[in-house]
Chains A and B, each alone.
Chain A
Amino acid sequence: MNSLYKLLVQRLALGLLSLFAVAVIIFLAVGMLPGDVAEAMLGQAATPETVAALRAQLGLDVPALTRFGQWAWHLLHGDLGVSLANQRPIAELIASRLANTFSLAALAALVSVPVALLLGILAALYRNSWFDRLLNTSALSAVSFPEFFVAYILILVFAVKLNWLPSISNLAPGASFGEVLERSLLPVLTLSLVVVAQMMRMTRAALINLLASPYIEMARLKGISPARIIFRHALPNALAPIINVVALNLAYLVVGVVVVEVVFVYPGLGQLLVDSVAKRDIPVVQACSLIFAATYILLNTTADVLSIASNPRLMHPKG
């Protein structure tokens, strides 16, 4: 049991370490340019005065180490700096968008996880039947489609042809819950389709791997029904890889929202990030990247911790 804690603490420490490394990389990325960021950002408009002003504003006139210290110190106090494009505090820009993005990802997770697990189990149960083949082929296709393709097909079908749902999800402040739900339905559906395919395939693979093992064969010889074999005997042992895949896909969801938000004009963090990259508003890009990366690392670490905690062999290691 002691070694389990050691493993968990190690994993958490590793998560924190990568978070720190990521913060350093995000910070250093700005200094990577040969020459000067300020000049590059101003481009044609670079006169000695404007460059000097921008350098002062970005804090480029102090040594890098001091700058990193200040940046990290402000960050820990919730101060993300000021946007270059419109001089507003970044925390203010991000706050409402962050909630929108997370609620979009959470809704998608709520829809996709149960569906994916159910389909995966059914595919494993009726493996090699036409149902399984159909699921497999469509999953393989769904994984290889670009998100914007899926999104526009859904728009074409549900918004343009059938006229059931709005094609863009511009949330007005103070919209009712029903309205928000209606407007985010298509983005949620798009995101779900992409991750369901991946999770379903992995659930099926994890279960089928187990079905070849001797103890399942024994259960089968005893005459236990296929459904009971899957739920009672195979599923508990397949939990670790399944949890892992679910968490990895949730991590993917948080990043995958970027494209989907742009398609549906959804007022989230992803759209802000893309706009800021186009405008080269580097402080905002840094803040958004940090939030996305931190969420990603958090979910990945959770995946590892849970799969350690649900694996009997890791919980009771030999020797």
Chain B
Amino acid sequence: MSLFKQLLRAPLSAKFGLAVIVLYVLVALFAPVLAPYGETQVVGEGFAPWGSEFLLGTDNLGRDMFSRLVYGARNTLGIAFLTTVLAFALGGFCGLVAAIKGGWVDQGLSRVVDILMAIPQLIFALLILSVVGTTATSLVLVIALLDATRVFRLSRAVAMTVVVQDFVEAARLRGEGLWWLVSREVLPNAAAPLIAEFGLRFCFVFLFISALSFLGLGIQPPTADWGSMVRDNAVLITFGDISPLLPALAVALITVSVNFVVDWVLHASSGLKEC
């Protein structure tokens, strides 16, 4: 069945999710074209109401809310995506190597991951950020490392079921090297669950970064970012104005959409009919 046909038969929730993801990616790519004002440009009074000049009003410093929302898509999505890719490169590779090598390599890596996972993620991140300071680089590296532990667990577990198969044994007997075993034998057979995990992991990372930014410890001003936009303008909510909720809604919408798509991918690949 072609990909297009599969898409047509997808449930409504998955179609909705895909549409939202495509929309977000387009907004992120074409942010400078779509935004009427600059990312950090002060264009008027603080907290101006919605209107024709400022579509969604202005924020606490008088910057255009709509423009910042658009740029926020680029910054927040970009950083979350980069972090997830790093986490996967590190955790996925180590997991596969641990499964293939076994023995003390596996033991060593697994125990390190056990210990790292014994600390709640948010607390660990706060601890490290308090020491190294909150810059975008340290943010990406710390979260990538913490999420790599979760990816490691999964990729190791999936790879374990693959490495015991005959074709891997055959490749080993042929004398193939580690890189060949990882990329040509194990990875193609472990791809489906890993792709689904990538979606879920992206959601976690995205929510995590937004939460940190909301706490004022994530992406630093004046960079437009959805988490800190909520924090900066939260005071408006007590006056019944919903504009500070828009960035939060943007975060919620993309995570729900990714979840819908992942749900559908998992369901379609498992071939389950009930439940």
Contacts and interface: CB of A to CB of B under 8 A. Distances in A.
Q: Considering residues B114, B130, B215, B242, which has the most beta carbons from chain A within 10 angstroms of its beta carbon?
A: B130
Q: Considering residues A149, A263, A286, A297, which has the most beta carbons from chain B within 10 angstroms of its beta carbon?
A: A149
Given A156-B240, A277-B129, 13 more contacts: A32-B132, A128-B274, A137-B13, A144-B258, A147-B211, A155-B238, A159-B238, A208-B275, A255-B123, A277-B130, A289-B123, A289-B127, A292-B120
Given A156-B245, A285-B130, A146 B214 contact: yes
Contacts of B121: 255
Given A143-B259, A152-B237, A259 B211 contact: yes
B214 A274 contact: no
Given A285-B130, A289-B127, A262 B122 contact: no
Q: Interface size for chain B: under 10, 10 to 19, 20 to 34, or 35 or more residues?
A: 35 or more
B131 A37 contact: yes
Contacts of A280: 130, 133
Contacts of B146: none
29 contacts: A25-B115, A25-B119, A26-B127, A30-B131, A32-B128, A32-B132, A33-B131, A40-B133, A140-B259, A144-B203, A146-B211, A146-B214, A146-B252, A153-B245, A156-B237, A156-B240, A156-B242, A160-B239, A161-B240, A258-B126, A259-B214, A262-B214, A273-B126, A276-B130, A285-B126, A292-B123, A293-B123, A296-B123, A297-B118
B217 to A, nearest CB: 6
A300 B120 CA distance: 11
B211 A148 contact: yes
B234 interface: yes
Nearest to B234: A152
B249 to A, nearest CB: 7
Nearest to A211: B275
Contact of A282 (B120, B130, B216): B130
Interface in A190-233: 205, 208, 212
B248 interface: yes
Contacts of A254: 120
A277 B217 contact: yes
A177 interface: no
B106 interface: no
Contacts of B244: 152
Q: Considering residues A143, A161, A288, A289, which has the most beta carbons from chain B within 10 angstroms of its beta carbon?
A: A289
A96 to B, nearest CB: 20
A37 B131 CA distance: 7
Contacts of B119: 22, 25, 289, 293, 296
Interface string A242-261: 00000000010011001100
Interface string B228-245: 001000100111101011
Q: Interface size for chain A: under 10, 10 to 19, 20 to 34, or 35 or more residues?
A: 35 or more
A140 to B, nearest CB: 6
Interface in B150-191: none
Contact of B127 (A143, A152, A251, A285): A285
A18 interface: yes
Interface string A288-305: 110011001100100000
Contacts of B93: none
Nearest to B127: A289
A152 B122 contact: no
Contacts of A140: 256, 259-260, 263
Interface of A: 18, 21-22, 25-26, 29-30, 32-33, 37, 40, 127-128, 137, 140-141, 143-149, 152-153, 155-156, 159-161, 167, 205, 208, 212, 251, 254-255, 258-259, 262-263, 273-274, 276-278, 280, 282, 285-286, 288-289, 292-293, 296-297, 300
B122 A255 contact: yes
A19 B214 CA distance: 29
B255 interface: yes
A145 B207 CA distance: 8
A285 B123 CA distance: 9
B27 interface: no
A29 B128 contact: yes
Given A29-B127, A40-B133, A145-B255, A18 B211 contact: no
B230 A255 contact: no
Contact of A18 (B118, B230, B238, B240): B118
Contact of A296 (B115, B120, B255): B120
Interface string B29-61: 000000000000000000000000000000000
B255 to A, nearest CB: 4
A25 B116 CA distance: 9
A37 B133 CA distance: 11
Contacts of A128: 274-275
B210 interface: yes
B126 A22 contact: no
A72 to B, nearest CB: 17
A32 B275 CA distance: 48
Given A160-B240, A161-B240, A297-B118, A259 B215 contact: yes
Contact of B118 (A127, A208, A274, A300): A300
A208 B126 CA distance: 38
